[in-house]
Structure 1
Amino acid sequence: MITGLFPVLCSTDVAASRAFYAEYFGFQAIFDAEWYVQLEAPDGAKPQLGIVARDHGSVPAAHRRDPAGVLISLEVDDVDVLYSRLVADGVEVALPLRDEAFGQRHFIVVEPSGAMVDVIKPIPPTGEFVALDEAATSP
């Protein structure tokens, strides 16, 4: 039986990655060592994220590199306010804020370890995606 599931990112700067998720998304450290931090989402939510120093002995030597092609999706209440804040703070934007026909208003930034963070606010789908959404939610 699976009792938990959470991504763990390799990072060259664990403290910077921890600070990013705490400052912009409210994650709190539930375990914090120099080489590893376990973060949990705020307000009783259970999503967790781990960050490990990529050169730590627990990471196999052949895989000690920053994440590439990793996309973490975080759903938020106010995507517009968060986008403005991240842009004002100079965080690298990989995909500017936009609406998607499949039912998302979102943007993608690059966090300190190099992973992409897709920040999402669900919106009503449009066009061909309306039928797909209705089919997925009907009994």
Structure 2
Amino acid sequence: MQFTASTVSLTVDDVTASQEFFTTHLGYTLQQAADGFASMTRPDAFDIVLLTLGIEVLPPEQRDQHASGVILAFTLASGLEEQEKRLRDAGVEITMPLRQEPWGERLFQVTDPNGVIVQFVEWAAPDTA
């Protein structure tokens, strides 16, 4: 088995709002769009598909389920502070300010207009205390 891409599919209320968030603030490129659907790509990350709540292409038991409990996490090689500042300066609400966990994860989170949590991570040496 050989994969050609990895894609996360999210069901949201307003596809256009999330699509604009990901293309404007996170550098995604729109591949395809139709009523209630958007497919976006970025060469260094997983693809994202957005589907509108209730869309009939989903099985009936999934049509009314929001993307909840999902965190889209992007690991950065460096520049975490700069990205937080860039997003804040662009008017994106930082919903979890920059912090460091005892196991060495440095992170902050933003939330897109549909409530999708996006987390940015850098790895540091864990606390030894």
Task: Give the TM-score normalised by structure 2.
Answer: 0.81
Q: Which has the larger radius of gyration?
A: 1
* Mapped contact 1:10–1:113 kept (Cα < 8 A): no
Deviations 1:13-58 (A, max 9, x none): 11111111112211111222232111111xx325211111122111
Q: Which amino acid in 1 is paired with 2:100?
A: D
Q: Relative to 1, partners in 2 of residues 1:91 and 1:30: Cα closer, same or farther, differing over 3 Å?
A: same
Q: Which residue pairs with 1:133 in the alignment? A: none
Q: Which residue pairs with 1:60 in the alignment? A: 59
Q: How many residues align?
A: 126
| Unaligned stretches of 5+ residues in structure 1 | 129-139
Q: Which runs of 4+ in 1 moved over 4 A?
A: none
Q: Which residue pairs with 1:112 in the alignment? A: 113
| Unaligned stretches of 5+ residues in structure 2 | none
Distance in 2 between the 1:80 and 1:46 partners? 20
Moved more, 18-27 or 46-55: 46-55
* Mapped contact 2:80–2:122 kept (Cα < 8 A): yes
Distance in 2 between the 1:73 and 1:50 partners? 16
SS at match of 2:10: strand
* Mapped contact 2:8–2:46 kept (Cα < 8 A): no
Distance in 2 between the 1:122 and 1:21 partners? 23
The answer to whether the aligner puts 1:15 opposite 2:16 as a matched pair is: yes
Task: Give the TM-score normalised by structure 1.
Answer: 0.76
Q: Which amino acid in 2 is paired with 1:100?
A: E
Distance in 1 between the 2:81 and 2:35 partners? 33
More strand by share: 2
The answer to whether the aligner puts 1:85 opposite 2:86 as a matched pair is: yes
Calculate the aligned-residue CA RMSD, in Å: 2.2
Q: Which amino acid in 1 is paired with 2:121?
A: I
Identity of aligned residues (%): 23
